[in-house]
Amino acid sequence: MFDTQRVELTWGGRKLVLETGKVARQADGAVMATYGETTVLCTVVGAKSVRPGIDFFPLTVNYQEKTFAAGKIPGGFFKREGRPTEKETLVSRLIDRPIRPLFAKGFRNEVQVICTVLSHDLENDPDVVAMVGASAALTLSGLPFFGPVGGARVGYIDGQYVLNPLAEQLETSALDLVVAGTQEGVLMVESMARELPEDVMLGAVMFGHRSFQPVIGAIIELAEKAAKDPWAIPEKPAKVGEVKAKLQAFSADFRAAYMEPLKQLRQDKVAAVKEKALASLPEDEREVTETIFKSLESDVVRGAILDTGRRIDGRDVRTVRPIVSEVGILKRAHGSALFTRGETQALVVTTLGTGQDEQIIDALEGEYREHFMLHYNFPPYSVGEAGRMGSPGRREIGHGKLAWRAVRPLLPAKEAFPYTIRIVSEITESNGSSSMATVCGSSLSMMDAGVPLLRPVAGIAMGLIKESERYVVLSDILGDEDHLGDMDFKVAGTENGVTALQMDIKITSITEAIMRDALAQARDGRLHILNEMANALTRPREGVSSNAPRITTISIPKDKIREVIGSGGKVIREICEVTGTKIDIEDDGTIKIAAVDIEASQKAIDWIRGIVAEPEVGVVYNGKVVKTVAFGAFVTFLGSRDGLVHISELAPQRVGKVTDVVNVGDQVKVKVLGIDERGKVRLSMKVVDQATGKDLQEGAKAEAQQPAE
**Cα separation, 685 vs 649, whole angstroms:** 6
Asked whether residue 542 is domain-assigned, the answer is no
**The domain that contains 76 carries what CATH number?**
3.30.230.70
Confidence (pTM):
0.86
Asked whether residue 314 is domain-assigned, the answer is no
Asked whether residue 235 is domain-assigned, the answer is no
> Average of pLDDT values for 470-497?
92
On whether both 579 and 443 belong to a single domain, the answer is no
* Per-residue pLDDT at 428 exceeds 90: yes
**The domain that contains 607 carries what CATH number?**
3.30.1370.10
Q: Are 386 and 89 in contact (CB under 8 A)?
A: no
> Average of pLDDT values for 588-595?
91
On whether both 244 and 176 belong to a single domain, the answer is no
**Cα separation, 213 vs 149, whole angstroms:** 9
CA distances in angstroms from 210 to 135, 155, 183, listed in the order given: 17, 14, 9
Indicate the angle between helix axes 434-449 and 394-407, nearest 10 degrees.
Answer: 50
**Cα separation, 91 vs 188, whole angstroms:** 13
Q: Are 636 and 624 in contact (CB under 8 A)?
A: yes
Residue type, 499: T
On whether both 419 and 499 belong to a single domain, the answer is yes
On whether both 641 and 521 belong to a single domain, the answer is no
On whether both 29 and 109 belong to a single domain, the answer is yes
On whether both 355 and 426 belong to a single domain, the answer is yes
On whether both 368 and 475 belong to a single domain, the answer is yes
Asked whether residue 234 is domain-assigned, the answer is no
* Per-residue pLDDT at 637 exceeds 90: no
On whether both 162 and 16 belong to a single domain, the answer is yes
| Domain interval for residue 274 | 240-308
On whether both 411 and 348 belong to a single domain, the answer is yes
Long-range contact list for 697-704, CB < 8 A, 24+ apart?
Answer: 697/671
On whether both 497 and 522 belong to a single domain, the answer is yes
What is the reported pLDDT for 700?
Answer: 58
**Cα separation, 440 vs 453, whole angstroms:** 13
DSSP 344-379: EEEEEEEEEE-GGGPEEEEETTEEEEE-EEEEEE--
What is the reported pLDDT for 245?
Answer: 76
> Average of pLDDT values for 620-626?
91
Asked whether residue 232 is domain-assigned, the answer is no
Q: Are 672 and 643 in contact (CB under 8 A)?
A: yes
On whether both 373 and 514 belong to a single domain, the answer is yes
What is the reported pLDDT for 699?
Answer: 59
Asked whether residue 588 is domain-assigned, the answer is yes
The count of structural domains within the chain is 5
pLDDT tens, position by position, 72-130: 998 878 888 889 999 999 999 999 999 999 999 889 999 999 999 999 999 999 999 99
DSSP 113-178: EEEEEEE--SSS-HHHHHHHHHHHHHHHH-SSB----EEEEEEEETTEEEES--HHHHTT-SEEEE
**The domain that contains 275 carries what CATH number?**
1.10.10.400
Give first-to-last CA distance, the chain, whole Å.
118
pLDDT tens, position by position, 539-570: 999 989 888 998 989 999 888 898 899 888 98
* Per-residue pLDDT at 322 exceeds 80: yes
Asked whether residue 545 is domain-assigned, the answer is no
**Cα separation, 254 vs 267, whole angstroms:** 11
Asked whether residue 642 is domain-assigned, the answer is yes
Residue type, 318: R
Average pLDDT of the chain? Answer: 91
Residue type, 158: D
Q: Which of 17, 19, 15, 16 is nearest to 4 (CA)?
A: 19
**Cα separation, 106 vs 113, whole angstroms:** 19
What is the reported pLDDT for 236?
Answer: 64
On whether both 54 and 135 belong to a single domain, the answer is yes
pLDDT-derived band at 237 (thresholds 50, 70, 90) equals low
* Per-residue pLDDT at 318 exceeds 60: yes
